[in-house]
Amino acid sequence: MIVSKQPVLRKFWYPVVQLARLGEKPMPFTLLGENIVLWKTADGVACLKDRCCHRTAKLSLGFIEDGAVVCGYHGWTFDATGACIRIPQQPDQKVPAKAKVPAYRTQIKYGYVWVALDEPLSDIPVIPEASEPGFRQVHQFYETWNIGALRLMENSFDAAHVAFVHRGTFGDVQSPRVGDRSIDEKPWGFVSRQSNDVKVRGDLAQKAVHTSDGKTTRHTESEWYMPFVRRSSIHYPHGLIHVLVTCATPMTDDTSMILQWVYRNDTEADVSTAEVIAFDRAITFEDKTILESCEADVPLSIVDDEELHMMSDKPGLVMRRMLTQLLKSHGESEQRLTA
């Protein structure tokens, strides 16, 4: 899927950085092939196209002054709306109205800065555990993977890969069969439910999932939010709830910023933040290695020959079908994808 060539994908919210990572300097980012720059303001976070309208220098190479970004080339200064508010070489002249840089929408949610490049078709997904008492949030990782965003989303719902890709953590090659999965389609994506028995290898993993048996059962309810957000609520027999939020923010056609954080209904005394991160990192490193070996582009066309697909491929096929419908209907309808 060539994400940079699909205008409708600009009409969604994407998390681009954890708020805590924004510092005193403007931060560059590439979203759907668009170079943008972000910085903190008194009211939140500003986001502009990362090009000065004067000589096209990158604003991210400049600095922040009084809540505005200053171009490091000639000092032209821009506010959060993208308007140039100062040309230092002409202090007594009015700034031309055309001296303006495109500005983009931002929201701060779940401790992350979300950006939409165009009028959004849907809201930022609602994660219930973010406001429920008894859950803590753990920020796990923020890094660039050399994969397309759809590839990551498909993998997040592919239960068949677990036995083989994750054979070093919780997969079992002797039990490759997967449980039945239900998929309930929604205007914004789908809800999927599945239960599976898994291995639990090592002291850290057993501590992380509150078991000492070397195996456990995971009852999982997952949501896919178009185009590239997954929430997966994993319930364990001992009462632990481990909720993964995984976002594949498309940077270019073949690179994605992968952000993942977790909500858990236990405490730091039960399992430390470092241990929670290490537990899921071991699993995701296995994913990263195999996914980056695949071709980044995932064609949206669905293969007619059903013999080429396993039952576990169904979530990915549903994603492709729904995204294909979204692309085809975009020019005909601007309806919001609300529940």
Going by their DSSP bridges, the two strands 241-250 and 63-65 should be labelled as unpaired
Structure tokens given for 26: 């403007």
User: What number of residues does the chain have?
Assistant: 339
Q: Using the 8-state DSSP alphabet, how is residue 38 labeled? A: E
Contacts of 202 (CB under 8 A, 6+ apart): none
Whether the CB-CB separation of 213 and 201 falls below 8 Å is answered with: no
Angstrom distance (rounded) from CA 251 to CA 35: 9
Predicted local distance difference test score (pLDDT) of residue 121: 94
pLDDT of residue 298: 66
Picking from 167, 165, 163, the residue whose alpha carbon sits closest to that of residue 176 is: 163
Nearest Cα residue to 325 out of 167, 185, 231, 200: 185
Domains within the chain, CATH numbers bracketed: 3-116 (2.102.10.10), 128-329 (3.90.380.10)
Task: Decide if 173 contacts 167 (C-beta within 8 A).
Answer: yes
- 0.85 surpassed by pTM: yes
Q: What is the mean pLDDT of each run of 10 residues along the chain (339 residues)?
A: 88 97 96 97 96 96 97 96 95 93 98 97 96 96 94 90 84 76 93 86 88 85 96 94 97 95 97 95 92 78 54 82 88 53
Whether omega for the bond prior to residue 133 falls within 30 degrees of 0, making it cis, is no
DSSP assignment letter at 59: G
pLDDT for position 308: 52
Check: CB of residue 78 under 8 Å from CB of residue 49.
no
Helix (H) or strand (E) holding 46: strand 44-49
Say if residues 25 and 245 touch (Cβ distance below 8 Å): no
pLDDT of residue 339: 46
